[in-house]
Amino acid sequence: MQRRTDGGSFTLSPGEQALVSVPSMESPLSVLPDEAFENLLVVSATAAPEKVEAIVRQRGGDPQKVGVVPVTGSQVEYDGPLWTTDAVDPSDLTGISIRFSKAMEYVMRGGWVVVDNVNVLLMYGREEQVFRLFESVVSSARAKEACGAYCTVREAVTDQTYSRFRNFCDRTVSLE
């Protein structure tokens, strides 16, 4: 496991997929390397597009190079520079998969795919369905040779669940 100790970000090679343990209150976008903001797709269950845009700007990125699949039960009305899909309820794993697949058309080799909170999917979906979605997302990112960062609050999932997610990825990173 790579553990961040310098207060900076972590890096991935094109096509590399990582299960990332994050503190429950920190946005994983705050620790991405600068190059991630050149071509980034965020499947966000924790941040509205406005918040993602604010973090991108704070990090010096161009919001027009960032896409968001908002995973929320609330209505999302966003009219900004990020490219976004329609919001999808966290219990609608098929809807998430469809929106993710469409958004992947914009991800290039060396781009980044970030799922900001896998735990939310586990709260609303059946575990086996979440694993199938996760495997599909990881496979799609790997096939595009995109870097994948799939964030989880480690202490909020069982060892068995964490192990299954870890098996889909190339490595783990701890930001805690």
Which pLDDT score, from 0 to 100, does residue 3 have? 40
Which pLDDT score, from 0 to 100, does residue 38 have? 96
Which pLDDT score, from 0 to 100, does residue 117 have? 93
Which pLDDT score, from 0 to 100, does residue 23 have? 87
Best CATH choice for the domain 12-174 from the list 3.60.70.12, 3.40.50.300, 3.40.50.450, 3.90.580.10: 3.40.50.300
Distant-in-sequence, close-in-space partners of 5: CB < 8 Å, separation ≥ 6 = none
How many Cβ atoms from other residues are within 10 Å of residue 165's Cβ? 20
Which pLDDT score, from 0 to 100, does residue 89 have? 96
Which pLDDT score, from 0 to 100, does residue 24 have? 80
Q: Please state, in angstroms and rounded to a whole number, the distance separating the CA atoms of residues 146 and 138.
A: 9
Which pLDDT score, from 0 to 100, does residue 25 have? 77
Give the up-direction half-sphere exposure of residue 133: CA atoms within 13 A in the CB hemisphere: 25
Which pLDDT score, from 0 to 100, does residue 2 have? 45
- Could you say which residues of the chain have pLDDT below 50? 1-7
